[in-house]
Amino acid sequence: MVFGTPSMRNKDWNAAKCIYGEQPTMKELMPDADLGKCVKPGCRNMVRSEQDKDRAFGCPTVRNDIPAKAFRSVADHQNYGDEPQAV
């Protein structure tokens, strides 16, 4: 670097674009094709029969099968279905 020489060779990107960004393209706004699907090799939720194609895999977030405790701890992160709505 020489004193007085501009450090940026490409003038297309500057601090204002870094702060405000650019308008995203329609492709960038669309959800990913693998959204909600496991892409980890060996752990994919693939159905083996046609009757299971609408099957939900995994454990539900709200557990109705576990009874709620009378006195809940602050460290208890389990959702028993009695929490207020996000709206």
Q: Is the dihedral of CA 5, 9, 10, 16 positive or negative?
A: negative
Angle of CA points 40, 42, 45, to nearest 5°: 75
- Residue 64 contacts residue 78 (beta carbons within 8 Å): no
Q: Is the dihedral of CA 44, 50, 51, 53 positive or negative?
A: positive
Give the model confidence (pLDDT) of 5-57 as tens digits.
666 666 677 777 778 877 778 888 888 887 777 777 777 667 778 887 777 76
Give the model confidence (pLDDT) of 43-63 as tens digits.
766 777 888 777 776 766 777
Q: Which two tokens stand for residue 57?
A: 């895999």
pTM here is: 0.29
